[in-house]
A and B are shown apart, each in its own frame.
Chain A
Amino acid sequence: MIAAARWARTYGALLVVGCVLTGWAGLAAPGRSSSTAQAAGVRQVATSDSGQAIYLRSCAACHGPQGEGTADGTSLQNSGAAAADFMLRTGRMPLNLPGDPTRRRPPAYDDATIRALVEYVASLGTRPGPTIPNVVVSGADLARGRALYTAECASCHGPSGGGDAIGGGVSAPSLLESDPRTVGEAVRIGPGAMPVFNETGLSDAEVADIAAYVQFLRHPPTPGGAQPPLVGPVAEGFVAVVAGLGLLVVIVRWVEPGPRARRDGDVE
């Protein structure tokens, strides 16, 4: 009984540590919502304020009073409605500090404010930039969407849409919280390090197919059971070696406890 308690303690501790590490790695893996964001509550802004007023109050410090850009922020002239809508609705803008990395966060403004800002930013510059696409996923070709996603998107965003580091301090983000409009906007504007895909390179129908596949990836079927949040051999190897082998070692120690527990009292 003493022996049993001892090994239960040892292996129990090891299993707990293993599960904690696995769980932590799983939680920290891409694909989960980044709750590390600042506690940006949705700021209510009086709807009577014009887009320009909001812009001058919240954006001009980094992007310049006419959107011409400063040392702290890029020029927004000719950037178009899609860019502003993408940045504001995914919470990438506004940044806390200039030079912070952009990443998905809860949006800082409500819908009405965002609409006003987008309208204003779209008007900046001399020619119109990419407009907000109308991405209709119902009736889209899911198979063509998968093929296009694999060819054009998976190399950075991963086969599961979970994202991956692509070097240079940049990560292609997870797509698993992106609605079709966000996907369409990103494809057309090429935010951050992302390349640009114009209407001739990827037609609107093809973009809709890709967006439909991204929606599919948000809730993919998992006929094999629980899918570790990180898709791929890294997580699988971890589970097999830590959980699988760990459990087997515990079982081995129970099956053959060895000389000590067998001989009742005969210790030699």
Chain B
Amino acid sequence: MTRRSSTRTPATVVPEPAAVPEPAALPEPATELERLAGWVDSRTGLGSFARTALRKVFPDHWSFLLGEVALSCFVILVATGTFLAFFFVPSQAPATYEGAYQPIAGSSVSSAYESVLRLSFDVRAGLLMRQVHHWTALIFIGAIVIHLCRVFFTGAFRRPREINWLIGFGLLTFAIGEGFTGYSLPDDLLSGTGLRIAYSVLLSVPFVGPSLAFLAFGGPFPGPAVISRLFVFHIMLLPALLIGGISAHLFLIWTQKHAQYRRPRATERNVIGQRFWPTQALRSTGLFLLTASVTTLIGGLIQINPVWLYGPFVPSVASSPAQPDWYVGFLEGALRLGPSFEPTILGVTIPSVFVPGIVIPGILFGAIALWPFLEAWRTGDHAEHHILDMPWDAPRRSATGVAMLAVLAMLTVAGGNDVLATTFNVRVEDLTDALRLLTVAVPILAWLVTYLLLVERAKSGDGPRRVGHGREVRRTTDGGFEEVDLG
């Protein structure tokens, strides 16, 4: 070891490498778990992170668990989907089904369809997994939607949570994409008809439509490759985007800390609730298992998507009624309500599916995605908010949210116009004309009614427990002072 005088050239002194310190004498671990944790910690250094993580405080409210229901559904989908992926054959090559279901036994169908039939009729627990997977998908997107509604109506998307809103919106679109690709994989007549419509909507884009459609399908419809390509999206690309998005979503919640409702002692600078360990972790685990039990119950007891009744996809046939899964229903309704208008402007034809199929959904979803920025621009409120609103605290926002829900609900209802016409014994034409009117009128009415009701509620107050407006200065436990927003 060289020893140089450190006073002569301080900049070039190489300090002695410090000796590796002896591991500190640790207290004897009391339980197996503590011994295991110590073993991991001494090799990874995760102990300090775990200590902070397990102590982290999350606010208590049932409405904060709706996103966790969606997350639980995602985990269930990955688990059941992995099982399905071992059996599904993502190919349109012909195969002969030789299984137990008589009306198709001996028929030549696509390999994809044959593998789904075989899984449903001839593989033990196959139909249970398939049904749980599909029911969970329907519930997954529903859970995302009500979680989105909770976030919207409480203003949780405001600064600093705009990025999380965008990520969440992205997760919604990925989930819808997963659902659409997923139910199209069995290559049955009903979902194949839906693919045909998707192809036509792609075709309708000005200038690039035909190229887009041919790229996506590998040629004119149906093309030789669509099932295998949907499979790549369904088990690889979209799940990767979902997992990445969910991780980012949770990370931001972690670092920003969850928002909380207004209550005594709650301020913009604290979080009141329960610690992650044991309370929140156990709640989340329990909720995950209970969510799985609900989807398993429905998946085992109620039949869904009986593809053997629809038959294999054949391009020359379509049966009715023909609807997509519920979360695509608003697109279907837009197509059914769309006017029969196909103008040609300066030599460019705008096909009749373009506006209802791309422009209108684009505007609606664009508005949802950009809402935090639209509201901040409109209200001028760029402050950080960690205390949530009640819906009546922001009547315009809530009214707009209700109106948006009304539009989407009317369009979804319109997607089943022939089913409704049969159920209520009315003419399809009359119902469709009525829905065209209602889809514009009901949201406007809903906006007005909601706004007026909420403004009224805001004026009259919310009950005897409200202490009154005001702020109070209180002493904190570390000796400082803090301002608290009262009641």
Q: Which residues of A contact B (CB under 8 A)?
A: 25, 28-30, 142-143, 145-147, 150-151, 154-156, 158-160, 163-169, 171, 213, 216, 220-228, 230-234, 236-241, 243-245, 247-249, 251-253, 255-259, 262, 268
Contacts and interface: CB of A to CB of B under 8 A. Distances in A.
Interface of B: 60-62, 64-66, 69, 101-107, 120-121, 127, 131, 135, 138-139, 142-143, 146, 189-190, 263-265, 283, 286-287, 290-291, 294-295, 298, 300-306, 309-311, 314, 316-321, 323-327, 329, 416, 418-419, 421-424, 427-429
Contacts of A253: 62
Given A164-B419, A226-B303, A244-B294, A232 B127 contact: no
Nearest to B310: A159
B77 to A, nearest CB: 13
A241 B319 contact: no
B303 A240 contact: no
Contacts of B120: 223-224
Contact of B324 (A147, A169, A233, A247): A233
A232 B320 CA distance: 10
Nearest to A217: B309
A150 B311 contact: yes
B303 A224 contact: yes
B65 A258 contact: no
B325 to A, nearest CB: 5
Give the most central of A146, A171, A237, A251: most B CB within 10 Å.
A237
B419 A248 contact: no
Rank and list the top 3 A-B pairs by shortest CB-CB distance, nearest first. Answer: A237-B326, A224-B303, A240-B138
B368 to A, nearest CB: 19
28 contacts: A142-B102, A145-B103, A146-B107, A147-B107, A155-B320, A158-B319, A158-B321, A164-B321, A165-B418, A166-B428, A167-B418, A168-B428, A216-B102, A233-B326, A234-B419, A236-B305, A236-B325, A241-B138, A244-B139, A244-B294, A245-B143, A249-B66, A251-B287, A251-B291, A252-B62, A253-B62, A255-B286, A256-B62
B311 A225 contact: no
Nearest to A230: B419
Nearest to B137: A240
Contacts of A227: 302-303, 306
Given A159-B190, A240-B139, A252-B287, A225 B422 contact: no
Contacts of B106: 143
Contact of B263 (A25, A225, A236, A268): A268
A168 B287 contact: no
Nearest to A251: B290
A223 B127 contact: yes
A249 B329 CA distance: 23
A220 B190 CA distance: 19
Contacts of B323: 232-234
A216 B103 contact: yes
SS class, residues of chain B in contact with chain A: helix
A150 B102 CA distance: 15
A79 B424 CA distance: 33
A85 B459 CA distance: 71
B311 A159 contact: yes
Contacts of A238: 326
A252 B69 contact: yes
B189 A150 contact: yes
Contacts of A213: 103
Contacts of B64: 256
Contacts of A256: 60-62, 64-65, 283, 287
A244 B142 contact: yes
A203 B139 CA distance: 46
Contacts of A221: 101
Contact of B138 (A25, A163, A237): A237
Most buried by A among B105, B127, B142, B263: B142
Given A233-B324, A237-B329, A25 B309 contact: no
B422 A30 contact: yes
A228 B302 contact: yes
A237 B120 CA distance: 21
A243 B298 contact: yes
Contact of B424 (A28, A155, A156, A163): A28
Contacts of B429: 167-168
